[in-house]
Amino acid sequence: MSWSSPGGPGRLAGDGAVVARAPAKVNVHLAVGPLRADGFHELRTVYLAVSLFDTVTVRPGDGLALTLTGEGAAGAGADAVPTDRRNLVWRAAELLAERAGVPADATIAVDKSIPAAAGLAGGSADAAAALVALDALWGTHATRGELAALAAQLGSDVPFSLQGGVALGSGRGEQLSPVLARRRWDWVLGIAGEGLSTPAVYAELDRLRAAGRLPDGSDLDSPEPVIAALRSGPVPALAAALANDLQAPAVSLRPALRRALRAATDAGAQASLVSGSGPTVAALAEDEEDAVRLAAVLAGEGVYRTVRAVYGPVPGARLVG
Ligand code: ATP
């Protein structure tokens, strides 16, 4: 990896702050293969970046310091997100500093709108936004390709959080190829009160497969129907093509999800599916107006903690301001 020599700070606001934001994702197709020797599952997934963003603000500092506001902040219960080395943002900062040969000096503030452990890749979004913001703060001038390589080391979903839009992911999900979406897709996200651990959902999938209660995954479903539907619509074509192999294990661990999925279709959603490893329910709407209506109906039902109308595709991690 070749790094240009540090060229001084990038785009700075008045107090030396650099701000970046990155989106949540929904997997509109998620096929999970058998467990690999390295402990990961082979994935074939189609990611869609949606308009729910975390914001990362970085300032000059002495060593690393991290604060968190919004979803998952201290006091938010069992899903409280760590603010030390265990936070993906901290690891992103250390990795970028090490690779670029600069001191890891920054005060980092993460404002989370993406709930933690929700299947929306919130931690990955934070890591991607941190890479972009710190690259500007430290003047390390990494290329997009260099940032993508660091992202892949941080986690399977981080490269997509950096890239955004729509993409086909293979390997652990980190190998991306772009997918064309000619139109905007409107969704309502039904967010649960308590998160689900991604490793626990994969372990439940393995358990259900070993017990013969689910197909073994050796035949990965093709993403082609979803890719064709995304390209040209209409909405019912995408509704019919949505698929997620993690939905059955997520429902097995969290039976209330069955009702949460049904509530969305009963309220008129074109389709509903679990987002990633859950427990967020992604309900596909006809258009923006329908999404606003659906969100209002679902908010009134009390099945979810929070309901958000979103759309995609949206860009990946970007500097703002
Ligand atoms: P995915 O959809 O990629 O499987 P997720 O959306 O279900 O992920 P995240 O919100 O990314 O889950 O976080 C999962 C766990 O990672 C959290 O429970 C938390 O302990 C840890 N974590 C580390 N850094 C962060 C961060 N910046 N934001 C949220 N969680 C973080």
Q: Are residues 173 and 256 in the same domain?
A: no
* Residue 5 falls inside a structural domain: no
* CB-defined site of ligand 1, < 6 Å: 72, 81-82, 86-89, 116-124, 126, 157, 198, 276-277
- State residue 5's pLDDT score: 42
Same domain, 148 and 193: no
| Any domain includes 240 | yes
CATH code: domain of residue 53: 3.30.230.10
**Residue 112 annotated to the active site:** no
Give the mutation target among 198, 275, 281 for probing the ligand 1 site: most ligand atoms within 8 A of CB.
198
Same domain, 159 and 274: no
Is 115 marked within a binding site? yes
CATH number of the domain that 264 lies in? 3.30.70.890
Tens of pLDDT along 180-238?
998 999 999 999 999 999 999 999 999 999 999 999 888 888 999 999 999 988 999 99
Q: Please list, in sequence order, all residues whose beta carbon lies within 8 angstroms of the beta carbon of residue 68, skipping any fewer than 6 positions away.
A: 74, 81, 83, 87, 109, 110, 112
Same-domain pairing of 40 and 152: yes
Do 43 and 149 belong together in one domain?
A: yes
Give CA–CA dist 40/3, Å, rounded.
30
Q: Residue 277: give the domain boundaries.
A: 185-312
- 115-125: average pLDDT: 96
pTM (predicted TM-score): 0.94
For residue 281, what is the enclosing H or E element? strand 281-284
Q: How sure is the predictor about 3, in pLDDT bands with cuts at 50, 70 and 90?
A: low
Residue 145 sits in the same domain as residue 98 = yes
Q: Give the whole-angstrom CA distance, residue 75 versus residue 23.
A: 24
Residue 75 is predicted with a pLDDT of 58
Answer yes or no: do 175 and 207 share one domain: no
How many domains, the chain?
2
Could you tell me if 173 and 91 lie in one domain? yes
Within-domain flag for 8:
no
Domain assignment present for 250 = yes
Would residue 159 count as lying in a domain?
A: yes
Average pLDDT, the chain: 93
25 in catalytic set: yes
Q: What pLDDT band is residue 245 in, cutting at 50, 70 and 90?
A: very high
State residue 1's pLDDT score. Answer: 42
pLDDT reported for residue 6: 45
Q: Given CA atoms 127, 130, 132, 138 in this order, what sign does their dihedral have? A: negative
**Shared-domain flag, residues 302 and 234:** yes
